[in-house]
Amino acid sequence: MYFWDPTYIILLPAVIFAMVAQFKVNSTFNKYSSVMNSRGYTANDVARRILDDNGLYNVPIEHINGNLTDHYDPSSNVVRLSDSVYGHTSVAAIGVAAHEVGHAIQHAQGYVPIKIRQAIIPITQIGANLAVPLVIIGMLISFLDWLIPVGIFLYTGVVLFQAVTLPVEFNASGRALKTLEESEILLPGEVKMSRKVLSAAAMTYVAAMFSALMSLLRLILIASGGRRRNN
């Protein structure tokens, strides 16, 4: 049976990596959420200041529910900060807010990787939903075996999305830390703490990339195994 095939073992390292990365980002954020910045800024104050300093007066900041659900929405051109960030004065919250503003600046400046990521989102959604079913159908119905490479090709879109996401996220964090330091929003020691939070968060994107690669490898192995059985 497909759902019990031994290729699942390929995903085990990716699952462990993702769990460790998620634990690390949560524990690091919680640790530095207790450290308040010396100047008394709130995360949304900092986000607004950085946006205005870059001429992005038209980009609003919204409060959304959830823990670390912060994001920049390019379709609405809005920075959204979560319950654990909006209104908080911790160095962790300020680092996260500055990171999301970094995405808004990327969008405004036409940063190429973020434009590529936005362009391939529809392909990524199709690949994530249809790749595995297409491969399975191709394996089960011999005259539809041409669906196998189609499914694998579609899933490469997921891998490409994750690959492009890495420079987008690293660049946003780099912009955030540079701004926090050069604008003296945080003291040097506080910047180091924010860096640790953003570095931990970055590992979740590395884990997602690794997971996508392992899933693609598994899909290829399943397809090649099915073809051998059919032959």
Question: What positions carry a catalytic annotation?
Answer: 100
Is residue 173 packed enough to be buried (19+ CB in 10 Å), middle (13-18) or exposed (0-12)? buried
Cα separation of 116 and 124, whole Å? 12
Give how far the C-alpha of residue 213 lies from the chain's centroid of Cα atoms, to the nearest Å: 15
**What are residue 36's DSSP bridge partners?**
90
Sheet with 71-73, strands from edge to edge, namely: 61-63, 78-81, 71-73
Cα separation of 15 and 1, whole Å? 22
Nearest Cα residue to 192 out of 24, 47, 35, 25: 35
